Amino acid sequence: MSDIQSGSTDQLNRKQIDSLSKKLLQYFLAAAKLGHEFAQFAAAKALLSGIGVEKNVQGAVDWFRKCAEKGNPFAAYQLGLLLSAGKEIPKDDSLAQKFCSIAISGFISLDHKQPNAGVERKIALMFYSGNGTAQNYAAAAQWFSMSAVKGDPYSQFQLARMIQKGEGIPVDALKAQLIYAAALAGFQKILQGNPDPDLLYKALKEVHGHQYDDQEEIM
């Protein structure tokens, strides 16, 4: 296939995806207005991402809030992060803590019913940063460990860093390196379907003992 044909195909695929995204958003918004919790969350995510539809941060916030006020921890988590970051909406630490508190309580309840590595990672991150709860490195390490043993590379990476630094868990250089290696293998698997050289670069620096700036994020 020539470059021109390939470009035309890619353009057609993008148009099809955009058309489908807009139709899905219409369905989500219709259901959201009827009070459907999942539809409210899905509409909020679509409006926030702007993928295939016009980005509307305030519209996303409004639907996240409606969904969060019903106790949905995922919506509360997203809203708490937006309020805490203060990049796309005005920063409000008090309100961020309120919604993060709803999120962590809901996540813990969900995980007790059906353990999930992604949920456990979110709980760990909230304990680590003190979002929605008192900062507690020991609790963060425990939740990262629960997620890490399920094969979550992001949790493995963060757990290794905590072990390396002695944050809430005894320092153990050998154990940290072994967990870094497991995380690296997981990242490489992810990168096969979603190339992100920056992610692999950061992981490699950690595995080989070269600390990058703590302000950089891998999750």
Same domain, 155 and 217: yes
Token representation of residue 164: 């390396």
Q: What is the pTM of this model?
A: 0.80
- Looking at residue 104, its pLDDT comes to 98
Does residue 122 lie in a domain region?
Answer: no
Least confident range from 13-22, 101-110, 153-162, 209-218: namely 209-218
Same domain, 173 and 105: no
Of the pLDDT bands very low, low, confident and very high (cuts 50, 70, 90), residue 80 is very high
- Looking at residue 195, its pLDDT comes to 62
- Looking at residue 149, its pLDDT comes to 98
| Tally of domains within the chain | 2
- Looking at residue 35, its pLDDT comes to 92
Q: Is the pLDDT of residue 102 over 70?
A: yes
Q: Is the pLDDT of residue 71 over 90?
A: yes
Least confident range from 1-15, 52-66, 116-130, 204-218: namely 204-218
Q: Does residue 180 contact residue 207 with C-beta atoms inside 8 Å?
A: yes
Residue (of 166, 164, 150, 154) closest to 208 by Cα position: 164
Average pLDDT, the chain: 85
Q: Does residue 157 contact residue 163 with C-beta atoms inside 8 Å?
A: no
pLDDT digits (tens, 9 = 90+) for 168-208: 999 999 999 999 999 989 988 877 766 665 655 555 555 54
CA distances from 127 to 85, 90, 99, 120, 142 (A): 17, 24, 14, 11, 10
Domain assignment of residue 13, given as a range: 9-114
Q: What is the rounded distance in angstroms from the CA atom of residue 131 to the CA atom of residue 77?
A: 9
- Give the position of tokens 């807009």: 22
Give Cα 187 to chain centroid, integer Å. 15
Does residue 213 lie in a domain region?
Answer: yes
Mean pLDDT of all residues in 127-147: 97
Least confident range from 74-83, 104-113, 182-191: namely 182-191
Mean pLDDT of all residues in 37-55: 90
Token representation of residue 215: 């302000």
Does residue 57 lie in a domain region?
Answer: yes
- Looking at residue 21, its pLDDT comes to 72
| Residue at a domain's end among 114, 145, 160 | 114
- Looking at residue 145, its pLDDT comes to 98
Q: Does residue 136 contact residue 127 with C-beta atoms inside 8 Å?
A: yes
Same domain, 143 and 107: no
Q: What is the rounded distance in angstroms from the CA atom of residue 102 to the CA atom of residue 133?
A: 10
Mean pLDDT of all residues in 90-119: 97
Same domain, 14 and 108: yes
Same domain, 88 and 142: no
Highest averaged pLDDT of the listed ranges 2-11, 40-49, 205-214 = 40-49
Same domain, 88 and 154: no
* Amino acid letter, 178: L
Least confident range from 15-19, 39-43, 102-106, 187-191: namely 15-19
